[in-house]
Amino acid sequence: MSIKEIASQKLPEMIKNRRHMHMHPEVSFKEKETYQFILNHLQQYPELKIRENVGTNEQNEGRGIVASIGEGHPHIAVRADFDALPIEDQKDVPYKSQNPGVMHACGHDGHTSTLLALVDTVVLNKANLKGTVSFIFQYGEEEQPGGAMAMTNDGALEGVDKVYGQHYWSQFDTNEIQTRPGALIASPDGFYITIKGSGGHAAYPDTTVDPIVVAAELITNLQTAVSRQISAIDNAVVTVGSVQGGDAFNVIPDTVRVIGTVRTFKQEVKEKIYEIFKAEVEHTTKKRGATYNMDYVFGYPAVINHEEEAKVIEAAAKSLDLPYKEADPLMIGEDFSYYILEKPGAFFYTGTGNIDKDSRHAHHTDMFDLDEDGLESALMMFMKILELESVIEWN
C-alpha cells in the first residue's frame, strides 16, 4: 500500500486515541495515566526495545519513554509530547475533558496519537527496516524546565543520527505543512519583578514612595529595550502580562508585582536584554527611592532547524502533494530545541485550522480543538521523512 493508503487506514484509530487522551488530560510532570496508556500500547510489540522512566530525576516527577526498533544506522528519532494545560475545557463535544480544570489545549494529544500510529506502522513493516527508528514520548513540555532537557541528559538520543518533531497548528489551514531552515521558534524567558515602596493615603502621595508610579515608568522603559536598544533586524519581544498592586482607590500600596516575558532567537540578543533589564530595574527603582526583587528565568533555547533536515521536511511535503509554505518565525516556545542542540534535526507545523469544524481557536485557550483530518497528514509526513532518510521502505 502507498503511504497515503496506510495513513488513511490509521486515521480512525488515531482519532480514537487522541479523543481518549483529550478526555483524560494531565498537567506537566503529573502525567501518570497518560504515561501508562502509552506504555500499554507499546508493550503489545515484543519487537520494541522500551526504555521506561526516561528523564526522571530528583527535580521532577515526569516520566518519558523511548521505544526503538531495528538495528544499526541510519538511526532516526521522532518525538511527541503528551502533557496538558491547567485550563477548563469549554467545548461542547463528546470527548470534552473529564478532568476539571485540565485540558489538552495545545494539541499534544494529537502529537502522541500520531506517534503511536507511526509505531504501529513501522512495526508492521519491520521487514523493510534498513536501520533503527526511535520513538520519543516526552512529558512536561508546557512547564519549565520541561522534559526534553532531562530526557536528553538521560540518553534519549543515544546512538541517534537525526531527530524530527512536529506541532499541530490551528492558525494554519488543515493539512498545510510549514517549516524553515534556521530560526523557527523563539526562546521564551520570563521576568518577575516586585517593586517595594512605602504606601499610604492616596491624598498624600508626597509622604509615600508610590510603587505603582515606579512600575508604570519601568514598564515604559523596558519596552524601549526592543524598540531602541536592539537592532530592528533581530526579532525580539518584551511583553508585560500582569501588573498586580493595590486593592482600594484611596490607598497607595506598598508593593507592585510586574510579570512578563521576553522572546528572542539569538543568544547574544537574549543576554543583552537581560543586562538591559538588570540595569533598568535597578536605575528606575533607585532614583524613585524604591527597592526591588527580580527573578529572571531563562526559558527553552530557540528552535533553530538544521538546514539539511528542514529541506527533507520540505521534500516530504511536496512529494506527498501536501500544501507547503516556508514558515515565518513564531515567538512561542518549544523545548524540542534541546534535541536539535544535541543532534541534527528539524521541527515542522501541520495545519489543523478549519472554520467549518470550529478548529481555528488559538492554542492555550478553552475552546481549542483540532481538525482531526490533519492527523493523517502528519503521519504521512513522518513516514515519508523516514523513507527519505533511507531507514525504511514502504510496500
Q: Which residues contact 49 (CB under 8 A, 6 or more apart)?
A: 67, 68, 69
Q: Which of 26, 31, 81, 83 is catalytic?
A: 83
**Ranges of H-type helices in 107-240:** 108-124, 148-153, 211-227
Q: Enumerate the β-bridge partners of residue 76.
A: 133, 162
Secondary structure of residue 185 in the 3-state scheme: strand
Q: What is the DSSP letter of 206?
A: G
Residue 237, C-beta contacts closer than 8 angstroms, at least 6 positions apart: 186, 226, 261, 262, 263, 264, 331
For 81, the grid coordinates are 509530547
What are the distances in angstroms from CA 174 to CA 26, 90, 375? 26, 22, 9
Confirm if 248 and 200 have CB atoms less than 8 A apart. no
CB-based burial of residue 217 (10 Å sphere; 0-12 exposed, 13-18 middle, 19+ buried)? middle
Which listed residue (141, 176, 372, 376) is catalytic? Answer: 141
Q: Tell me the chain's radius of gyration from C-alpha atoms.
A: 23
Q: Is 210 a catalytic residue?
A: no
Buried/exposed 67-106: b ≥16 CB within 10 Å, e otherwise: bbbbeeebbbbbbbbbbbbebebebeeebebebeebbbbb
- The yes-or-no answer on residue 88 being catalytic is no
Cα four-point dihedral sign 165, 357, 104, 66: negative
Q: Catalogue the active-site residues.
A: 83, 141
